Amino acid sequence: MWFKKSIQEVIQELDTDSINGITSKEAKIRIEKYGQNKLAEKKKKSILILLFEQINDVLIYILLAAAVVSALLNEISDAIIIGIVIILNAVIGLIQESKAEKALESLKKLSVPKALVKRDGRIIEISSEDVVLGDIVILDAGKYVPCDLRLIESANLKIEESALTGESVPSEKYAEDTLKEDDVALGDQRNMAFMSTLVTYGRGVGVVVAVGMDTEIGKIAKMLHDDSKNLTPLQEKLAQLGKMLGFVVLIICILMFAVAVIQKRDLFEMFLTAISLAVAAIPEGLPAMVTIVLAVGVQRMIKKNAIVRKLPAIETLGSVNIICSDKTGTLTQNKMTVTKFYADDTLDNILKLDANNFIHKRLIENMVLCNDATYSEDSQTGDPTEIALLELGFKFNIFKDSESKEHIRVNEIPFDSDRKLMTTLNEYGDKYHVITKGAVDNLIKICSYIYLGGHVVDFTEELKSKVIKASDSMSKDALRVLATAVKIEDSSDIKIDSMESELIFVGLVGMIDPPRENVKKSIEECKNSGIRTVMITGDHKNTAYAIAKELGIAEDSSQVILGAEFDRMLEDEVVDKIDNLRVFARVSPEHKVRIVKSLKEKGNIVSMTGDGVNDAPSLKAADIGVAMGITGTDVAKGASDMILTDDNFSTIVEAVKEGRNIYNNIRKSITFLLSCNIGEIIALFIGIILGWPAVLRPIHLLWVNLITDSLPALALGVDPDDPDIMKEKPRDQKEGLFSGRNGAFLVGNGILIGIITLFAFYIGIKIYPNSVTHAQTMSFVVLSISQLIYTLSIRHNKKSIFEIGVFTNKYLIGAIILGIILQNIVITVPFLASVFKVFTLTPNDWMFVILLSLIPLIINEIAKIIYNKIERK
């Protein structure tokens, strides 16, 4: 903890010289001992490893086994079709995820290429990678800090640390401070400067105390490197489904052989039948269907200003019940803005400021002229607080002397951290105005008069108390308050010592980093949808609470906690209190990760949004990390699952809607495919138990699963959005894919499809007792067409097909028509009929199978009416 040590202790411990620096020879020794000042690179994954990750799935393994067995049994066409499905799934996934993890590379790019150091008694410029422990580094405004430093000199030094700490206002640095506490947050370590932060004001000198992976940035890199890959809820459920199906396939094969022995059937024939049932149990098109639906969802998300980096992550937003959001740049604009003023005994909103009022104009002029920043619509440089004051002046056409050539600055007293004041002397025609701005308490002490009612009056204790009351009122709203005063002189020949005395108090301005537009509305919509918003920020407690209260995130100060306080909490305390906490202030990157993990351990699905380097580990630890595309650092983008191209919190709400709809669509498709497969299993298994010939051939099952089922399943995957989706609460992550009505739909329709398929075979055998092929053809057609028509009712488990609109999904209508046409071609084209071993049906046969195929649709629609009536009661 270098911030706890005095300057002399640091210099002695690192064996350096604050005047001359270390020698070049010593620098070479240290660079060999400690390594270069750069971040370690993560080993990139090869294409083969990435490809293996795509096929490393239980369902894929079962499909591979089925393909091998089919090839050994000389069913080459079956093996080829299964192989195509596997390749398609792997290629689509590989295209989406082929970009290797870029977080560490981005962190490396943040390092500054050059640094000014003292070596051999001289100041030289070297590559930042060659900076070593004990080097004496020179800091100036506009320069990035090349490594972690313990400051040994500082002069009005301010450093922008928002990317690391999340604090929007630059931190003032004081080399002389020695902090004694153990748990000082990064943003409060006033005697330290950290790698990749930016010097915005003043100058400083520091001794290098950490380089490369040992810096605060390096620690973040390690956290990114160490964090394991999280599975999304859908991935976990599909993995469980794959294991279940594998178990089902094994049981089916064992039962088939048992039946063969009992019924004294031909074992080879029963082996083929067992393979048929295995094929029926596995939804061959499921992996490809899920991947394609997610890929289509990615394209839809891009149109809504959200880029999804990893395919499975798209559904995760639909199930989140907590959004952890960074404050600076995410909920707020990351731009200091003047929002209130006090002048002429009036405290009001900045919109009431009137440039025609002499005192109001004087207030604006003072803030603009006593200012070292620069501002234009295209570019701004300097301290964000001073830029905010120039922006205020710009709105009233009041500019600095360098721009207007009026009120030229002829002398100044620079800002000093002890005085907390800055003073300039400006030309005003034949007069000269001494303008001072700074901290309220300090400025009041040097004021003898005040502008009131257009006149200069004595600054009495009563008037001073009014000013302090106005300042306190602004501070309670977490505004940063600055005061200003003026003194009019006849000559520029005025002594420095007498400039800051006998001043006329003008007024106050209060500023804050304001919330983004529409954020409050989005947070309210999230709340109504059962989604809790939690603010995590590096800002001070009061500032964070004021913003959170304004946005509707927090209602009471008890819902706010400091990062250090949270860090000291025991696990039992965290479990008890974390559900009530809404704001975490003054947090470090480690705190953010613990917060996210603690929320996840409580059974929540957590999204984390952020833009800074300090957000990267928590973005990676969350179920889904969301980075800002405009203000976001490359590190945050690299660690995220999704990037918002418009940096708008409101886009998250649209992403949630899209995620929920995509998940529902995938669930519809999976329910459809599995219910169809259950129907196939029931038809085959019961047929064998009854001693019938095979109700369906293996090639019939493969045709239905890969062709007839796949097209409607894909069409269900792109079903139009449900307008009522945000009226639902987030899904419980423990909720299965088939909980509630979905399970009833799945099993009930599977049984129904199996029964009507068996009935078609039974009628076929009765009508054509000498033609098993004719009966198999009837069951084949009923199985495929009933499944096609049944898709119309599975689009919604509560609304009827007329409520959602029969033709609102044109892709589905097209898939049904195409499926029926393809089915007809298979049984009517002689060459295909011989391959599939089917019989041409008569018109009466067609009439019968179509009526039979309508039964699942009709029964489903009746069931919805009954279900809805029961629920309403």
Q: Which residues are catalytic?
A: 326
> How far is the C-alpha of 97 from the C-alpha of 475, rounded, in Å?
48
The answer to whether 315 and 233 are in contact (CB under 8 A) is yes
**Range list of H helices, 131-215:** 162-165
The answer to whether 775 and 792 are in contact (CB under 8 A) is no
> How far is the C-alpha of 864 from the C-alpha of 866, rounded, in Å?
5
- Which phi-psi region, left, alpha or beta, contains residue 441 (left: φ > 0; alpha: ψ -120 to 50)? alpha
In a 13 Å sphere around the CA of 863, the CA atoms on its Cβ side amount to 17
The answer to whether 752 and 672 are in contact (CB under 8 A) is no
* Residue reference for tokens 């098993």: 772
- DSSP letter string, 402-422: HHHS-S-EEEEEEEETTTTEE
* Residue reference for tokens 């707020």: 332
What backbone phi and psi angles, to 5 degrees, belong to 65?
-65, -45
CB atoms within 10 A of CB 376: 11
> How far is the C-alpha of 773 from the C-alpha of 440, rounded, in Å?
96
End-to-end Cα spacing for the chain: 65
- DSSP letter string, 71-132: HHTT-HHHHHHHHHHHHHHHHHHHHHH-SPP-HHHHHHHHS-SEEEEEETTEEEEEEGGG--
**Tokens coding 310:** 């990893």
- Contacts of residue 133, Cβ cutoff 8 Å, sequence gap at least 6: 14, 30, 34, 208, 209, 210, 211
- DSSP letter string, 743-757: HHHHHHHHHHHHHHH
Question: Measured at the alpha carbon of residue 54, what is the angle toward residues 51 and 57, in degrees to the nearest 5?
Answer: 135
Q: Find residue 424's DSSP bridge partners.
A: 412, 435
- Strands 322-326 and 532-536 turn out to be parallel
**Tokens coding 230:** 């999280």
In the chain, the amino acid numbered 762 is Y
The answer to whether 276 and 684 are in contact (CB under 8 A) is yes
In the chain, the amino acid numbered 800 is S
> How far is the C-alpha of 466 from the C-alpha of 339, rounded, in Å?
19
CB atoms within 10 A of CB 278: 24
